[in-house]
């Protein structure tokens, strides 16, 4: 019953917050309690155990559990340190909805269920008030859903080997389309609310979705491991290059952040594509970093981006170091693991990745400055994000063990 | 402890008396008086004046170089002598004036090039024997190493007049009517000439004849320098510059090539 | 003294004390293993003679500077953590932990420098990051090829030429050991020297540490003798480059900026030669560098006995410690055989240029002054004098500091140093430092006592020479920096249009990419 | 019978692609839903078929109440959409019958053609009503694609898709959004 509760409780929290939005205090309390209960259920859930209470078999893997817990921690951090109560309850409504969707994606045992959840989440997001048109916001996720469904259909049908090749292509392309990474970048509106922008697909739902899709992909096309890995690594490198360079050179500050997520995803895709333990570990650490540090910092930088108040205080430099993956932050440990994995696989790849890693610095300095001078709650938030990231970087073992790696 | 104290006493004796300060001053005064006589045509004796910091520094360095020489009865054991110490410390003496006085060193760039050549002449012969004991290098008579030794010795001699400032390129303070004794140079005669004797002649025995032989050769080298110096003075500054730029420096390159080729051949 | 400064200083001195308390009673390797960290490295701490030597090289200047120089609480905290990270790098049991710790020290140094003055020159962050990433990769390759990256356990066969090249590149970048003007020289042109001193103290020795540890991994040798020769020649170029820049310096501050790179070049020569004598001499040179690192930031810009002593100590005036160490280091090149003596000759030539530069620098104008509040002339003078009068103690320093480290990393290599407290006994000669230099120091004191004062006035002096082709290189560099895409091609390569095309969310573009991907996979 | 149903599914999808008015969209959705329900019923999943039918019914009913009150089938300038419908159908037919082998070709054709056409409809600049209708059909076709497997997936995906379809059709899209 635990996987069902892991989906139901955050969903209930989100709905109650939406219903009680006239009374922010009550909305916040109800959503917080239900959300915490949902996280507790995820913590208690036995990884790999299948539950069939609703006629649909659901199961949470240890990696998904770990990412759900980290995502919940990120949400708690963002919500707790948001300046206004009303804003907090809105954030909680959206966050818990996303968390419920992520739990459902993590628990789903078939790709079609994942696709249906992706459609549901995208429609919910597109239906809310936002800068871009309804159809525009749906494009990326719908293409992802279609590609994933077609891939699943190709993989399940009997026929020539080209079908399994196409299935592999569909799975990788579908995943990129869902995340909004190159070549399927979602249209980005700098002034749009974060909740309705493409950022949640990349920085919140993305990590769990990627793990779930890859888990199913390995079952669907076990013979296509090589092609699958090659495509993931190729697109990963492409995203690394594009994301870091674009994040450095683009004009808009918010767009720079958007591209920086893409660059991190490039590294994560390389790690996931390697299909060896070190690659998976590296990817997981990078995803932790995206959830726990990059996303909160992006949210806190919005105000200063609007007011165009860049700053060069120590905190900005530390943030830049963290975003660049400099030691002792999690990015460095992830990079070490990635280089180790690439060396095991094919050493020139490690060389390419190693050279690519240097591209992180200039955009990171820019993004660090764009935080402005965090004050009050936000200063605490930046401090906590930096601290958490440094702890993961210095001693990643327990965080990897949490994911069974 | 007694051993240490006796060693300190012996080394102090070497530094101060023989072949140290006293010997340096004695040899240097003779050579310097001779030089001023042939240069200015007058006998000039040292003036009684308080030594400057430059003189003190050069004296200190010259003492350290002198004890590295293969002079007979040198209290410093032969195993404790080192040609690098001699070469580097002697190199320091050349720039003491630039460092500690208001005077400008004449043509410092050219002097530096000459010092490079001299350094090659001193250390080049040590490459193949893989030894830094001066008397060992002097004792090398292996036919395959003789070309290096002879070439280096000739280069050493070519550099000596310039390093001892016997050439006509003089600093402004020297352009005075009344000739004076150059104390700094006086302190350098024995180290430079004695080092040549040490490196390019077999070491002399520790007896009266050995002492005579060592100082005779060293004096001969000094004499050679005087003659060369006079020739340079006669030919003038431009000719001196030309000689060192167009002849000595390219010759040093040839010596370097000889050192490298010999090392390769004897490897 | 502010309580913060006192606290940080006391903490660093406490670390020095702890180091002595841990090392001196046993004087043998001590290990502490706290299990795996999760990124392929275990938390293994190893205090052996090499770690002890490098820890002192890092801690002593850091402690002096942190105790004396005023800092804001942020700078003090970052600096202290940086010292800790640097210590962890030298006490780490394996390459990956060293890479993590070294990378942390580099990050903190850059942040500290930027906190102090963001517009002043500082080491390029990218180069430092590249150095530690390269080391991480070397560690990863060793783990994959040899099964471990723990210094003491790496199989000799695993340290191949490519891995060594990677490690050497990391070392050279980490310490900025380049023939051109590296970060270690640029730092001294900052308006304030409090962060600069700490950056040099914590980062500069780390590159040398890697080169020394490489011997341990290769069982006392580098994978190819030629690699050592190449590194030694690089050392000559580094020392020569620093000396050439120093002799054309327009101010004394500019000259002092080249002191550390120059000494580093000589240390690199000695270490790269790879004989026990060379290694020991190299370590003593690094100890001298450490004292100079503490001395230079405390030195006021005005001329005076402090400046004179510092320049004399830095250039290796006889019979100072630097002089003795350099002589032994150069002697090692001749004794190493295989015409490595040519490196010794080149090194001696570089030293001569450094002498000229030093002699010239004494009379140069002071240049841009750094705040008087961060200068301590007496302490600087004492430190410089210490280097000068410590020449006679060279055998003691070698026996107590360098020889144990050398015998730790090259136990199998013949031609070890004799352990005498009176003389430095090498293969062919022995340098009677105590019995020869001690009387010389005494005589020097007497003679300078008798001699009159020296009259050097600060005035600009022309450079002795300019490097041929230096101007052309400078022009080339400026041209490369100011290079832009010709206007007629700017319309072809339009980044904004490219960004619009890629991020425009056009379905047709997406479908085309999908088709291309499918085609690529099915080819 | 299955072949007819499969053809009907494609026809319904084509009508959704070609229509802009509420009646045309509802008609297309109804035909597609009915065809899917028949295919699932014949596949032995009666409960799933009923679920699809109910969801489709609710979606059609809701569609008939919102959007421009016209048929709007093949308005001027819809030649490209016509070509897309026919081309997509033919391509799906070729893949479902020639490339993919084994039994269940009609189900494959129905699922693939609707999936492809509905995706194209959403990706193209469409009115909100058309997008929502296409999304409903897309959700149902995703469930149908699960049925391509040799082993039946059970009613779960159909019921989930049906619930999603109902959810989409009752969803109120914020008015401030551009179409």
Q: Which chain A residues have a beta carbon less than 8 Å from that of C104?
A: 327-328
Let me know: does A144 contact A201? Beta carbons within 8 Å. Answer: no
Cβ separation A169–C518 shorter than 8 A: yes
Beta-carbon contacts of residue A377 (< 8 Å; ≥ 6 apart): A81, A82, A83
Check residues D56 and C480 and name the one with the higher pLDDT: D56
Radius of gyration of chain C (CA): 25
Q: Which chain A residues have a beta carbon less than 8 Å from that of C509?
A: 183
Predicted TM-score (pTM) of this structure: 0.91
Is the pLDDT reported for residue B174 higher than 60?
A: no
Q: Which chain C residues have a beta carbon less than 8 Å from that of A147?
A: 514
Query: Quick one: A169 and A126 in the same domain?
Result: yes
Return the residue in C505, C509, C520 with the most chain A beta carbons within 10 A, the one to mutate for interface testing.
Answer: C505
Phi first, then psi: what are they for A265, rounded to 5°?
Answer: -65, -30
Q: Do chains B and C touch (3 or more CB pairs under 8 A)?
A: yes
Radius of gyration of chain B (CA): 18
CA distance C521 to chain D (A): 17
Let me know: does D37 contact D49? Beta carbons within 8 Å. Answer: yes
Let me know: does A337 contact A267? Beta carbons within 8 Å. Answer: no
Cβ separation D141–A149 shorter than 8 A: yes
Check residues C426 and B64 and name the one with the higher pLDDT: B64
CA distance C334 to chain B (A): 5
Is the pLDDT reported for residue C47 higher than 70?
A: yes
Other Cβ atoms within 10 Å of B26 Cβ, number: 13
Query: Quick one: A355 and A265 in the same domain?
Result: yes
Cβ separation B11–C432 shorter than 8 A: yes
The distance from CA C35 to its chain's CA centroid, rounded to whole angstroms, is 31
CA distance A42 to chain C (A): 24
Is the pLDDT reported for residue C456 higher than 70?
A: no
Handedness of CA B188, B189, B190, B193 (dihedral sign): positive
Q: Which chain B residues have a beta carbon less than 8 Å from that of C339?
A: 127-128, 260, 263-264, 267
Length of chain C: 523
Residue B7: both structure tokens together: 């060693």
Is A58 inside any structural domain? yes
Residue A49: both structure tokens together: 């155990």
Report strand pairing: A50-51 vs C30-36: unpaired
C100 has a chain A CB within 8 A of its CB: yes
Query: Quick one: A202 and A93 in the same domain?
Result: no
Report the neighbours of D using a cutoff of 3 or more CB pairs below 8 angstroms: A, C
- Burial of C88-124, coded b for 16+ CB within 10 Å and e otherwise, reads bbbbbbbbbbbbbbbbbbbbbbbbbbbbbeeebbbbb
Query: What are the tens digits of pLDDT across the range A323-343?
Result: 999 989 999 999 999 999 999
Where are chain B's structural domains?
2-265
DSSP string, A342-390: HHHH-HHHHHHHHHHHGGGHHHHHHHHHHT----HHHHHHHHHHHHHHH
Choose one of A109, A125, A154: the last residue of a domain: A109
Residue A58: its H or E element: strand A58-59
Cβ separation C40–A336 shorter than 8 A: yes
DSSP string, A270-332: HHHHH-SHHHHHHHHHHHHHIIIIIHHHHHHHHHHHHHT----SHHHHHHHHHHHT-TTSHHH
Structure confidence at residue C413 (pLDDT)? 64
Residue C425: its H or E element: strand C424-425
Return the residue in C324, C393, C429 with the most chain B beta carbons within 10 A, the one to mutate for interface testing.
Answer: C429
Comparing CB atoms, the residue among D126, D159, D161 nearest residue A135 is D126
Q: Which chain A residues have a beta carbon less than 8 Å from that of C514?
A: 147, 169, 173
Report the neighbours of C using a cutoff of 3 or more CB pairs below 8 angstroms: A, B, D
* pLDDT mean over C437-462: 81
Report strand pairing: C424-425 vs A50-51: unpaired
* pLDDT mean over D17-24: 91
Structure confidence at residue A28 (pLDDT)? 86
Q: Which chain B residues have a beta carbon less than 8 Å from that of C334?
A: 84, 123, 126-127, 130-132
Return the residue in C504, C505, C506, C507 with the most chain D beta carbons within 10 A, the one to mutate for interface testing.
Answer: C507
Structure confidence at residue C60 (pLDDT)? 96
Burial of C24 (0-12, 13-18, 19+ CB in 10 A): exposed
Cβ separation D161–A116 shorter than 8 A: yes
Q: Which chain C residues have a beta carbon less than 8 Å from that of A399?
A: 38
Let me know: does B172 contact B101? Beta carbons within 8 Å. Answer: no
Q: Which chain D residues have a beta carbon less than 8 Å from that of C510?
A: 123
Beta-carbon contacts of residue C382 (< 8 Å; ≥ 6 apart): none
Distance separating alpha carbons of residues B27 and A73, to the nearest angstrom: 87
Structure confidence at residue D106 (pLDDT)? 92
Give Dmax over CA atoms of chain C in angstroms: 93
Distance separating alpha carbons of residues B82 and D159, to the nearest angstrom: 95
Report the neighbours of A using a cutoff of 3 or more CB pairs below 8 angstroms: C, D
CB–CB contacts below 8 A, A to D:
124
Residue for token pair 């030089």: B35
A398 has a chain C CB within 8 A of its CB: yes
The domain tally of chain A equals 3
Cβ separation C429–B95 shorter than 8 A: no
| Tens digits of pLDDT across chain A (405 residues) | 678 899 999 999 999 988 888 888 888 889 999 999 999 999 988 888 788 877 788 888 999 999 999 999 999 999 888 766 657 788 888 999 999 999 999 999 889 999 999 999 999 999 887 778 888 889 999 999 999 999 999 998 888 888 999 999 999 999 999 999 988 899 888 888 888 899 999 999 999 999 999 999 988 888 888 888 999 999 999 999 999 999 998 888 899 999 999 999 999 999 999 989 999 999 999 999 999 999 999 998 888 888 877 778 888 999 999 999 998 999 999 999 999 999 999 889 999 999 989 999 999 999 999 988 888 888 899 999 999 999 999 999 999 999 988
Quickly state the pLDDT bin for D179 (edges 50, 70, 90).
very low
Residue for token pair 């084994």: D102
C441 has a chain B CB within 8 A of its CB: no
* pLDDT mean over D1-22: 92
Query: Quick one: A59 and A144 in the same domain?
Result: no
Cβ separation A177–C136 shorter than 8 A: no
Return the residue in D88, D122, D140, D154 with the most chain A beta carbons within 10 A, the one to mutate for interface testing.
Answer: D122
Query: What are the tens digits of pLDDT across the range D127-160?
Result: 888 999 999 999 999 999 988 877 778 888 999 9
A321 has a chain C CB within 8 A of its CB: yes
Query: Quick one: A69 and A119 in the same domain?
Result: no
Query: What are the tens digits of pLDDT across the range B75-132?
Result: 999 999 999 999 999 999 998 887 777 666 788 889 999 999 999 999 999 999 888 9
Is the pLDDT reported for residue C179 higher than 90?
A: yes
Query: What are the tens digits of pLDDT across the range C316-368?
Result: 999 999 999 999 999 999 988 877 899 999 999 999 999 999 999 988 888 77
C129 has a chain B CB within 8 A of its CB: no
Query: What are the tens digits of pLDDT across the range C371-397?
Result: 888 899 999 999 999 999 999 999 999
Helices (H), C225-297: 225-247, 252-257, 259-273, 276-295
Cβ separation B132–C334 shorter than 8 A: yes
Comparing CB atoms, the residue among C106, C132, C495 nearest residue A249 is C495
Distance separating alpha carbons of residues A92 and A102, to the nearest angstrom: 15
- Reported as half-sphere exposure (CB side, CA atoms, 13 A), residue C339 has a value of 15
Return the residue in B2, B6, B8 with the most chain C beta carbons within 10 A, the one to mutate for interface testing.
Answer: B8
Residue C324: closest C-alpha in chain B: B85
Return the residue in B100, B111, B249, B267 with the most chain C beta carbons within 10 A, the one to mutate for interface testing.
Answer: B100
Residues linked to residue C47 through DSSP beta bridges, in sequence order: C30
Residue C166: closest C-alpha in chain A: A351
Query: What are the tens digits of pLDDT across the range C62-121?
Result: 999 999 999 988 899 999 999 999 999 999 999 999 999 999 999 999 999 999 998 899
Let me know: does C233 contact C349? Beta carbons within 8 Å. Answer: no
Collapse the DSSP code of C36 into the 3-class scheme (helix H, G, I; strand E, B; otherwise coil) and give the result. Answer: strand
Q: Tell me which DSSP letter residue C15 carries.
A: H
- Burial of C232-269, coded b for 16+ CB within 10 Å and e otherwise, reads bbbbbbbbbbbbbbbbbbebbbbbbbbbbbbbbbbbbb
Comparing CB atoms, the residue among C107, C505, C509 nearest residue A186 is C505
Give residues 110 to 149 of B whose Cβ lies within 8 Å of C.
112, 115-116, 119-120, 123-124, 126-128, 130-133, 136
The distance from CA D103 to its chain's CA centroid, rounded to whole angstroms, is 22
CA distance B239 to chain C (A): 21
Let me know: does C358 contact B99? Beta carbons within 8 Å. Answer: yes
Structure confidence at residue A373 (pLDDT)? 86
Return the residue in C42, C94, C503, C511 with the most chain A beta carbons within 10 A, the one to mutate for interface testing.
Answer: C503
Distance separating alpha carbons of residues C92 and D93, to the nearest angstrom: 65
Residue B247: its H or E element: none
- Burial of A216-251, coded b for 16+ CB within 10 Å and e otherwise, reads bbeebbeebeebbbbbbbbbbbbbbbbbbbbbbebe
Q: Which chain A residues have a beta carbon less than 8 Å from that of C114?
A: 312, 314, 317
Q: What ipTM goes with this model?
A: 0.87
B258 has a chain C CB within 8 A of its CB: no
Mean pLDDT, chain C, as a whole number? 90
Phi first, then psi: what are they for D101, rounded to 5°?
Answer: -115, 175
Quickly state the pLDDT bin for C450 (edges 50, 70, 90).
confident
Handedness of CA B163, B164, B169, B173 (dihedral sign): positive
Length of chain D: 179
Structure confidence at residue A210 (pLDDT)? 95
Structure confidence at residue D40 (pLDDT)? 93
Query: Quick one: A244 and A360 in the same domain?
Result: yes
Residue C137: closest C-alpha in chain A: A339
Percent over 90 (pLDDT), chain C: 67
Residue for token pair 């001395």: C295
Cβ separation D164–A157 shorter than 8 A: no
Distance separating alpha carbons of residues C471 and C44, to the nearest angstrom: 50
Let me know: does D92 contact D109? Beta carbons within 8 Å. Answer: yes
Is the pLDDT reported for residue B145 higher than 50?
A: yes
Q: Do chains B and D touch (3 or more CB pairs under 8 A)?
A: no
Query: Quick one: A45 and A131 in the same domain?
Result: no
Query: What are the tens digits of pLDDT across the range C292-313?
Result: 999 999 999 888 888 999 999 9
Q: Tell me which DSSP letter residue B243 carries.
A: I
Residues linked to residue C45 through DSSP beta bridges, in sequence order: C32, C92
Structure confidence at residue D177 (pLDDT)? 47
Is the pLDDT reported for residue D169 higher than 60?
A: yes
Q: Which chain C residues have a beta carbon less than 8 Å from that of D123?
A: 507, 510
Domain range enclosing A98 = 1-109
Torsion angle of the four alpha carbons C104, C107, C108, C109, in this order, in degrees rounded to the nearest 10? 120
Comparing CB atoms, the residue among D99, D154, D168 nearest residue A163 is D99
């Amino acid at each position: 019953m635990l996987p069902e509760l892991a989906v139901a409780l955050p969903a209930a929290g989100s709905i109650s917050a939406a219903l009680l939005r006239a009374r922010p205090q009550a909305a916040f309390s109800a959503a917080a309690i239900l959300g915490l209960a949902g996280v507790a259920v995820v913590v208690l859930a036995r990884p790999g155990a299948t539950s069939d209470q609703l006629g649909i078999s659901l199961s949470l893997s240890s990696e998904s559990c770990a990412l759900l817990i980290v995502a919940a921690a990120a949400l708690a951090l963002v919500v707790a340190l948001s300046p206004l109560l009303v804003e907090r309850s809105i954030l909680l409504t959206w966050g818990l909805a996303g968390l419920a969707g992520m739990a459902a994606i993590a628990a789903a045992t078939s790709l079609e269920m994942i696709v249906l959840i992706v459609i549901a989440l995208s429609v919910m997001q597109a239906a809310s008030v936002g800068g871009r048109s309804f159809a525009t916001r749906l494009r990326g996720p719908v293409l992802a859903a279609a590609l994933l469904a077609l891939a699943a259909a190709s993989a399940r049908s009997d026929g020539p080997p080209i079908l399994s090749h196409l299935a592999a292509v569909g799975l990788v392309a579908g995943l990129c389309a869902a995340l909004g990474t190159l070549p399927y970048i979602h249209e980005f509106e700098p002034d749009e609310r974060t909740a309705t922008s493409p950022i949640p697909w990349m920085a919140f739902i993305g990590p769990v979705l990627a793990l779930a899709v890859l888990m199913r992909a390995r079952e669907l096309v076990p013979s296509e491991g090589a092609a699958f890995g090659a495509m993931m690594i190729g697109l990963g490198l492409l995203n690394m290059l594009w994301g870091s360079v674009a994040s450095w050179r683009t004009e808009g500050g918010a767009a720079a952040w958007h591209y920086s997520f893409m660059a991190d995803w490039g590294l994560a895709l390389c790690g996931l594509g390697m299909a060896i333990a070190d690659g998976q570990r590296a990817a997981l650490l990078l995803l932790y970093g995206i959830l726990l540090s990059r996303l909160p910092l992006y949210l806190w930088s919005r105000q200063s981006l609007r007011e165009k108040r860049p700053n060069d205080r120590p905190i900005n430099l530390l943030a830049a170091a963290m975003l660049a993956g400099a030691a002792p932050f999690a990015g460095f440990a992830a990079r070490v693991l990635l280089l180790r994995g690439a060396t095991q696989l094919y050493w020139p790849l490690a060389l390419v990745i190693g050279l690519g890693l240097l591209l992180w610095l200039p955009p990171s300095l820019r993004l660090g400055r764009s935080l402005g001078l965090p004050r009050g709650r936000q200063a605490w938030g930046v401090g906590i994000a930096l601290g958490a990231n440094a702890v993961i970087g210095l001693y990643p073992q327990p965080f990897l063990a949490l994911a069974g790696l | 402890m007694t051993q240490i104290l006796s060693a300190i006493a012996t080394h102090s004796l070497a530094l101060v008396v023989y072949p140290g300060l006293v010997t340096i001053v004695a040899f240097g005064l003779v050579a310097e008086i001779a030089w001023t006589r042939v240069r200015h045509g007058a006998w000039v004796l040292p003036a009684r004046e308080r030594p400057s910091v430059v003189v003190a520094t050069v004296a200190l360095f010259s003492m350290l170089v002198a004890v590295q020489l293969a002079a007979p009865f040198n209290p410093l054991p032969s195993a404790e002598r080192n040609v690098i110490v001699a070469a580097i410390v002697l190199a320091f003496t050349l720039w003491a004036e630039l460092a500690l006085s208001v005077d400008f060193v004449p043509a410092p760039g050219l002097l530096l090039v000459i010092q490079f050549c001299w350094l090659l002449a001193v250390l080049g012969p040590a490459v193949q024997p893989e030894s830094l004991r001066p008397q060992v290098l002097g004792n090398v008579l292996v036919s395959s190493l003789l070309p290096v030794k002879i070439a280096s010795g000739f280069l050493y001699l070519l550099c000596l007049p310039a390093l001892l400032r016997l050439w006509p390129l003089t600093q402004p303070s020297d352009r005075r009517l009344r000739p004076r004794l150059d104390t700094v140079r006086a302190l350098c005669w024995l180290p430079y000439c004695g080092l040549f004797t040490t490196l390019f002649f077999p070491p002399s025995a520790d007896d009266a004849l050995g002492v005579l032989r060592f100082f005779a050769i060293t004096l001969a080298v000094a004499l050679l320098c005087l003659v060369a110096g006079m020739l340079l003075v006669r030919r003038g500054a431009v000719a001196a510059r030309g000689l060192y730029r167009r002849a000595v420096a390219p010759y040093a390159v040839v010596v370097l090539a000889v050192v490298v080729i010999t090392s390769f051949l004897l490897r | 003294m502010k309580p913060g400064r006192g606290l940080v200083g006391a903490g660093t001195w406490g670390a020095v004390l702890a180091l002595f308390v841990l090392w001196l009673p046993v004087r043998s390797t001590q290990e502490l293993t706290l299990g795996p960290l999760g990124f392929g490295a275990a938390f293994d701490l190893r205090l052996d003679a090499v770690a002890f030597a490098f820890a002192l090289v890092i801690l002593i200047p850091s402690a002096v500077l942190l105790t004396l120089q005023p800092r804001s609480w942020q700078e003090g905290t970052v600096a202290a953590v940086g010292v800790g990270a640097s210590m962890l790098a030298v006490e780490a049991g394996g390459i990956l932990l060293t890479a993590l710790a070294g990378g942390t020290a580099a990050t903190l140094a850059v942040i500290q420098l930027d906190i102090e003055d963001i517009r002043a020159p500082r080491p390029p962050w990218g180069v430092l990051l590249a150095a530690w990433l390269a080391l991480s990769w070397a560690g990863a390759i060793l783990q994959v090829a040899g099964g471990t990256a723990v210094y003491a356990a790496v199989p000799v066969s695993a340290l191949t030429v490519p891995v060594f090249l990677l490690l050497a590149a990391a070392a050279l970048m980490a310490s900025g050991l380049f023939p051109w003007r590296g970060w270690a020289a640029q730092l001294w042109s900052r308006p304030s020297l409090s962060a600069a001193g700490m950056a040099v103290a914590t980062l500069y020795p780390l590159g040398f540490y890697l080169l020394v540890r490489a011997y341990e991994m290769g069982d006392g040798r580098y994978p190819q003798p030629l690699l050592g020769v190449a590194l030694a020649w690089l050392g000559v170029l580094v020392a020569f480059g620093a000396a050439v820049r120093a002799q054309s310096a327009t101010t004394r501050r500019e000259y002092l900026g080249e002191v550390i790179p120059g000494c580093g070049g000589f240390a690199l020569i000695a270490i790269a030669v790879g004989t026990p004598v060379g290694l020991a001499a190299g370590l003593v040179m690094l100890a001298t560098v450490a004292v100079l690192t503490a001395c230079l930031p405390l030195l006021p810009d005005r001329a005076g006995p402090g400046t004179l002593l510092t320049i004399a100590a830095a250039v290796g005036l006889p019979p100072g410690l630097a002089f003795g160490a350099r002589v032994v280091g150069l002697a090692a090149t001749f004794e190493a055989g295989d015409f490595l003596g040519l490196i010794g000759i080149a090194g001696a030539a570089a030293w001569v240029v450094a002498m000229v530069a030093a002699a010239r620098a004494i009379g140069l104008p002071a240049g841009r002054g750094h705040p008087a509040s961060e200068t301590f002339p007496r302490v600087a003078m004492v430190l410089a004098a210490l280097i000068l009068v410590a020449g006679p103690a060279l055998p003691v320093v070698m026996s107590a500091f360098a020889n144990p480290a050398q015998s730790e990393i090259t136990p199998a290599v013949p031609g070890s140093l004799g352990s005498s407290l009176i003389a430095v006994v090498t293969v062919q000669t022995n340098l009677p430092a105590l019995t020869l230099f001690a009387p010389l120091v005494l005589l020097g004191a007497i003679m300078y006592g008798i001699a009159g004062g020296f009259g050097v006035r600060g005035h600009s002096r022309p450079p002795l020479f300019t490097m041929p082709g230096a101007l052309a290189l400078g022009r080339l560099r400026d041209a490369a920096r100011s290079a832009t895409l010709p206007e007629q091609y700017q319309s072809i390569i339009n980044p904004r249009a490219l960004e619009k095309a890629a991020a425009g969310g056009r379905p047709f573009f997406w479908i085309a990419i999908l088709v291309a991907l499918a085609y690529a996979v099915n080819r | 019978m299955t072949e007819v149903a499969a053809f009907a599914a494609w026809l319904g999808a084509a009508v959704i692609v070609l229509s802009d008015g509420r009646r045309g969209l509802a008609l297309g959705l109804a035909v597609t839903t009915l065809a899917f329900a028949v295919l699932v019923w014949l596949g032995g999943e009666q409960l799933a078929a009923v679920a699809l039918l109910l969801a489709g019914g609710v979606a059609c009913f809701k569609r008939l109440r919102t959007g421009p009150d016209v048929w709007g089938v093949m308005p001027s300038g819809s030649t490209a959409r016509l070509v897309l419908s026919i081309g997509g159908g033919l391509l799906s037919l070729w893949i479902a019958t020639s490339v993919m082998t084994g039994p269940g070709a009609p189900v494959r054709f129905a699922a693939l053609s609707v999936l492809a056409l509905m995706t194209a409809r959403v990706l193209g600049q469409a009115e909100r009503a058309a997008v929502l209708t296409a999304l409903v059909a897309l959700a149902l076709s995703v469930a149908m694609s699960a049925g391509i497997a040799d082993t039946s997936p059970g009613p779960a995906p159909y019921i989930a898709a049906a619930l999603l379809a109902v959810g989409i059709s009752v969803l109120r899209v914020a008015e401030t959004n551009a179409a």
